[in-house]
Amino acid sequence: MMRTKGNVRAIDELGRIVVPIEYRNQLDIKSGDLLRMELDGEGIVIKKNTPSCIFCGAENALTKHQGKTICINCIRDISKIPN
């Protein structure tokens, strides 16, 4: 992972910041893309939002059902009909 020197940006009165253009270019982040933010100790980590299963968080073998993303393992799990 390439490390870069910190970029200092002001946060505005609504809590917004601008992600530096060089970061957006390097990570191919475009206007309208979803970003995921997580607290990490005393910092905030911002990553591109990758689709994941709403139940287990898996990021592969995904499909959509009624607008929700679900993985094949969870589909199998919840498809088990009790006798």
Interacting residues toward Zn ion by CB under 5 A:
53, 55-56, 58, 71, 74
* Residue 78 C-beta: closest distance to Zn ion, Å: 9
Nearer to Zn ion, 17 or 54 (CB): 54
Place of tokens 């689709």: 51
* Greatest CA separation for the chain: 60
Spatial neighbors of 63 by CB under 8 A, at least 6 apart, are: 69, 70, 71, 72, 75
* Residue 54 C-beta: closest distance to Zn ion, Å: 8
Nearer to Zn ion, 44 or 61 (CB): 61
